[in-house]
Amino acid sequence: MSAPRIRRWWFVGALFGAAILAAAFLCDAAVQTWVVQHQTPSALGLMRFVTKWGDWPTHVAAGVLGAAIAYALGKREWLVIFAAMVIACAVAGSVNRVIKVTAGRSRPSVKVERGWNGPSAKSDYHAFPSGHTAASTAFFAALVFARRRIGLALLPNPLLIAASRIYLNAHYLSDVVFAAMLGIACAALVWYFAARQPVLRPSG
């Protein structure tokens, strides 16, 4: 794909993402109200279990294990793919951390002043964006770029993790939407370079 075409795709993606994010911000209050009204003990327990698997250490461990198995079996293409998944997850997590510490958006669940409060080291002000969602989306989006069918089959994982963060009232809808976009962007950037490795072959 030529450089001008890549730039056009990034531009179109940015416009589309901005529209979706704007809609998400408009729906934040309504979604949060609905979530609070429909929480149940059993569902909360399930979502707490789901969300434990959504942070970056779990994804990095899974990626490293996959890379080790690929190396042992001599599957060099999968070694590169798993490495790209781990790197995408790490990049998304790092960028996400910088943004959330800088933005200082209060979480919907805490009894503090709502809004954007600027740089803060306190977790109560780390709503935007969702770290779990960014890490999980980047991890699996990299797999989508590498092996589309397998990646798409596993996409329910980051979607469920994003839903758990909203249901647990840890994040607003816009927090997870932006985090998902961040994860996809990081995965695309990492895969742009990873795909140049000679061991990789085009695959659907």
Query: Considering only 40-44, 50-54, 88-92, 177-181, which range has the smallest mean pLDDT?
Result: 50-54
Query: Considering only 14-28, 171-185, 190-204, which range has the smallest mean pLDDT?
Result: 190-204
- Full residue range of the structural domain in which residue 139 is found: 3-194
Nearest to 110 by CA among 97, 134, 126, 133: 126
| Residue 200 within a domain | no
CATH (domain of 138)? 1.20.144
| Residue 132 within a domain | yes
Number of domains in the chain: 1
Work out the percent of the chain whose per-residue pLDDT is above 70: 95
Nearest to 136 by CA among 170, 103, 167, 160: 160
| Residue 127 within a domain | yes
Angle 94-17-105 from CA coordinates, rounded to 5°: 50
| Residue 93 within a domain | yes
Task: Please give the average per-residue pLDDT across 10-23, as a whole number.
Answer: 89
Task: Please give the average per-residue pLDDT across 114-137, as a whole number.
Answer: 92
**Would you place residue 55 in the very low, low, confident or very high pLDDT band (cuts 50, 70, 90)?**
confident
Q: Which two tokens mark 198?
A: 């000679």
Q: What is the pLDDT of residues 151-175, one digit of tens each?
A: 999 999 999 999 999 999 999 999 9
Residue 204, pLDDT > 50, answer no
Rounded Cα–Cα distance for residues 178 and 143 (Å): 20
- pLDDT given for residue 113 in this prediction: 75
Instruction: Please tell me the pTM assigned to this model.
Output: 0.90
| Residue 18 within a domain | yes
Task: Please give the average per-residue pLDDT across 52-81, as a whole number.
Answer: 92
| Residue 201 within a domain | no
**CA atoms within 13 A of residue 131's CA, in its CB half-sphere:** 22
Task: Please give the average per-residue pLDDT across 113-127, as a whole number.
Answer: 88
DSSP secondary structure of 151-204: HHHTTHHHHHHHHHHHHTTSS-HHHHHHHHHHHHHHHHHHHHHHTTSTT-----
Nearest to 178 by CA among 136, 134, 135: 134
